[in-house]
Amino acid sequence: MNNEIALIAASFALGALAGTLYFGGLWLTLRRIAAAKRPQLRLALSFILRMSLLLALFYSLTGQGAIAMFAAMAGLLTARQLWLLGKGRIRPARG
């Protein structure tokens, strides 16, 4: 039981870290795209690098089972929501 909780927590943390890197890289790419000499190349390389990171993470978790994959996805989506909240794109619902 404790091992399973540790696996879920570690997977969530890895997903959150990967999400932070993914969406942070996207943010940096979009901020610097106007100054790029070849913006299409910059976008393509950024996408390939960010997607490779995510694929490597999720591939490494396949051996740990579906629970680890779901926890990592939850961490990734949590990081996305925090990026959106931090950048002011969405506002929390008011009760």
pLDDT tens, residue by residue, 7-35: 999 999 999 999 999 999 999 998 899 88
Range of the domain at 10: 2-86
pTM: predicted TM-score of the whole model, two decimal places: 0.83
Is 27 a member of any domain?
Answer: yes
Is 7 a member of any domain?
Answer: yes
Is 95 a member of any domain?
Answer: no
pLDDT tens, residue by residue, 47-77: 999 999 999 999 999 999 999 999 999 999 9
The angle formed by the CA atoms of residues 40, 41 and 42, to the nearest 5 degrees, is 90
Structural domain count of the chain: 1
